[in-house]
Structure 1
Amino acid sequence: MKLEQVLHMIGGDGETNYASNSALQKTVISKAKPIVEKAILDLYCITFPKSLSIADLGCSSGPNTLMVISEIIDAVDRRCHHLNRPSPEFQVYLNDLPTNDFNAIFRSLPGFHEKLKKEKGRDFGPCYIVGVPGSFYGRLFPDKSLHFVHSSYSVHWLSQVPSILESENYIGLNKGHIYIAETSPPLVHKVYLEQFQKDFTLFLRSRSQELVPSGRMVLALVGRIDSNPISRWCGYIFELLAQALNDMVSQGIVEEAKADSFNMPVYLPSIQELRGVIEKEGSFHVDQLEIIELNWDQNHDDDNPNCVPDVMTSGNSIAKRIRAISESMLINHFGTAIIEDLFERFAAKIAGHLSKEKSKVSNLVISMIKKDEDRLVASF
């Protein structure tokens, strides 16, 4: 599977589009806001650049796309007022794969700029925003051209399904599953981890070349808080999707060989695995790492015991969220005919799971500082 040509969130205005089914991602962005603000202000107050270059990698489209950019601009502008300094120019790069719905982003920009002028006055800025299509598993920007890099809910996507799982000799290695499951052979976890290590190393190396000395980066991704490779989020949620597919196989609706050859190009690293890649690659210092645990269903409020939606409503809500991020890959592999049936079955599987236990998703938010090359050389 050539992921760059296939993977994209569902665009447009339909019921299953990403914009309407990204409440969980919005909550993570909101809860990570203090970490993002600290990182950008620490950088700005050391260097005071006249022009501040910011990249948001894996920006997708919808209301969340400009949310982080707005928060960064607000934080810097407030600090400038406090210090009685003029605001810098803002150069913003919005990156995603070429199949992303960039047109929806571009249509929203006039309103975004008008809002900035209204809230901050005509002397603010200016703020330049451009789209940058391409994979972040490689270079996207010139050397030392960025001050700050942000990415939310993107780095856990791999550049590809581990190649061994798509090779002729191992095509059924993960039979009955589409991600790492309790009954998957140990080799499945091994090749997924190796693919993540390879991809994330390339990601870090590319960003280290693009960031200025002491540049900052904040990443938010789904991960694991222990060494168990079966995460409570994708380990369970994708296993339920696999069960729905297996039911369709047993009923002759989906070819068994087709189901056996489908695996998700995603990996949820543990904290130790994440730190291990960062330390081995060597370009960044970890400044802060926080864990944000959230309910699968964002309509379930832990602080309000009376706010407990019925499990079928939750099942439908969560199924739409997974559909928004996975439909493009499922259609590419299975075609469009099975999609509605598959996600109806999937929603019922989720509802059955939630009737037995309430599940959480673990989000890792990590703030990093690019190491100073001159200091590294001087230390030898």
Structure 2
Amino acid sequence: MDVGNIFHMTGGSGSTSYANNSSFQMKASDTVKHITVETIEQLYLQLESFPKTIGIADMGCSSGRNSLPEIKTIVESVEEIGRRLLAEPPDEFSVYLNDLPSNDFYSVFKALPDFIRQLREERNGRCPSIFIAGCPGSFYGRLLPKNSMHFVYSSYCLHWLSKVPPSLCNEKGESLNKGNLYISESSPPAVSLAYFLQFQDDFSTFLRSRSKELVCKGRMLLILLGRVDQDNHVDRGNSFLWELLSRSLTILASQGKLNKEKLDCYHAHFYAPSKCELEDQVRREGSFVLDRFKIYQLEKTCNGTNYRSYGFGVAMTVRAAQEVMLRHHFGLEVDGILDTLFEIYGNMVDEEMAKEEIEPFTFLLVLWKL
């Protein structure tokens, strides 16, 4: 198996039964819905003549239930803005749902007939044509035709790297970050540098690829995890959650249920950038203007979900992204212990939350193409 093809994971992996653990994504989407609407309005006002066909892409759609409501929000926003400005609405929407080839696109497509029927019923049969297609592949590269998209959306995806930084291992193949899954207090400076350089390369590739696909003045709305301290990579909101997962894996290794040597070289394909790092990379790549930057801390609750606690909800969200990685790295030995692993992990998160809040930060960026 080509490891490079499985490392860019999104908000959930369609290859696991936990891919629809998307309540945190839905909460973020609801929180920023007004910004989505405002961004569409700005796009509408800046285009000299609004096209008859609007191109939309959801980068990292997953197989959960988030993509279709987001499409509905965008369609409704375009229609409302058109009415307000007395402009002719578009006849068609061309929508691309992107994720890795391993994603369960079938579950998304299965929901489409009901989605389209609901839109038509809400409009008494007067509904624009909406053409929805799957677009399998890594968004760290070109996916769509040049100048074909007007709006690109991505939720909780860009903190996942295309691969584990290769420089985390020395020439002998030994880990520089032994005992850690991610950047921690005990990590040498070379580890945080390796993660940062991989993020730089990935995010630059993402921006460069989307700049080819978006029309002039096209918009992107990106939601991802980040850190607020520019000079310190170790925070309680991101790195501490990886530390808890590392402890959980270590417990199972101490019980002989996991290979200790394999655990020593298992690393997260994750990076929480700072605001300055994101701004600097946008400026360096040069194709976009960063129009808006917001920082959120979403309300921590398990209400309205199937999770018995916040910690278990976090565990299922992490499992959705990590299960494929764990299976690939550890092989068959991990199959029988995944439930135990994330049970331990969820309990650890709840125990730590009882002492002090674990507060991950969500960043929102709105960019438009020059």
The question of a shared fold, defined as TM-score above 0.5 by the shorter chain, is answered with yes
- Kindly provide the CA deviation profile for residues 22-68 of structure 1, in whole angstroms up to 9, marking residues without a partner as x: 21111111112122211111112332111110111001122212121
Distance 2:53 2:144 in 1: 16
**Alpha-carbon deviation of 1:124?**
2.2
- Kindly provide the CA deviation profile for residues 267-310 of structure 1, in whole angstroms up to 9, marking residues without a partner as x: 11000011111111111111110011124x43279xxxxxxxx9
**Once structures 1 and 2 are overlaid, which stretch shifts more, 68-77 or 35-44?**
35-44
Distance 1:314 1:62 in 2: 19
Aligned to 1:323: 319
Name the SS for the 2:297 alignment partner. Answer: strand
One-letter code of the match for 1:27? Answer: K
**Once structures 1 and 2 are overlaid, which stretch shifts more, 216-225 or 45-54?**
45-54
**Alpha-carbon deviation of 1:233?**
2.6
Counterpart contact for 1:5–1:98, Cα < 8 Å: no
**Alpha-carbon deviation of 1:367?**
0.3
Shift of the 95–13 alpha-carbon distance from structure 1 to 2, 3 Å rule, reads closer
Aligned to 1:306: none
Aligned to 1:343: 342
Q: Spell out the pairing of 1:48-197 with structure 2 (5 A cutoff).
A: 48-88=50-90, 89-166=92-169, 169-197=172-200
One-letter code of the match for 1:362? Answer: F
Counterpart contact for 1:331–1:339, Cα < 8 Å: no
Match of 2:270 among 262, 266, 280: 266
Distance 1:29 1:99 in 2: 24
Shift of the 300–294 alpha-carbon distance from structure 1 to 2, 3 Å rule, reads farther
Counterpart contact for 1:56–1:95, Cα < 8 Å: yes
Counterpart contact for 2:259–2:330, Cα < 8 Å: no
Percent sequence identity is 41
Distance 1:91 1:28 in 2: 24
Name the SS for the 1:130 alignment partner. Answer: strand
Name the SS for the 1:160 alignment partner. Answer: coil
**Alpha-carbon deviation of 1:169?**
2.7
Name the SS for the 2:158 alignment partner. Answer: coil
Counterpart contact for 1:24–1:298, Cα < 8 Å: no
One-letter code of the match for 2:248? Answer: A
Name the SS for the 1:154 alignment partner. Answer: coil
TM-score by length of 2: 0.91
TM-score by length of 1: 0.89
One-letter code of the match for 2:117? Answer: E
Distance 1:168 1:331 in 2: 25
**Alpha-carbon deviation of 1:251?**
2.5
One-letter code of the match for 2:327? Answer: I
Distance 1:5 1:162 in 2: 14
Aligned to 1:26: 26
Name the SS for the 2:224 alignment partner. Answer: strand
**Once structures 1 and 2 are overlaid, which stretch shifts more, 192-201 or 325-334?**
325-334
One-letter code of the match for 1:224? Answer: R
Q: Is residue 332 of structure 1 aligned with residue 336 of structure 2?
A: no
One-letter code of the match for 2:66? Answer: N
Shift of the 34–242 alpha-carbon distance from structure 1 to 2, 3 Å rule, reads same
Name the SS for the 1:285 alignment partner. Answer: strand
One-letter code of the match for 1:266? Answer: F
Match of 1:245 among 246, 249, 257: 249
**Alpha-carbon deviation of 1:132?**
0.3
Name the SS for the 1:290 alignment partner. Answer: strand
Counterpart contact for 2:195–2:271, Cα < 8 Å: yes
Distance 1:244 1:222 in 2: 22
Aligned to 1:2: 3
Alignment gaps of 5+ in structure 2: none
**Once structures 1 and 2 are overlaid, which stretch shifts more, 76-85 or 112-121?**
76-85
Q: Spell out the pairing of 1:225-240 with structure 2 (5 A cutoff).
A: 225-227=228-230, 228-240=232-244
Distance 1:238 1:356 in 2: 18
Counterpart contact for 2:152–2:221, Cα < 8 Å: yes
Counterpart contact for 1:164–1:170, Cα < 8 Å: no
Alignment gaps of 5+ in structure 1: 302-309, 372-380
Counterpart contact for 1:284–1:368, Cα < 8 Å: yes
Over the residues paired in the alignment, what is the CA RMSD in angstroms?
2.1
One-letter code of the match for 1:236? Answer: F
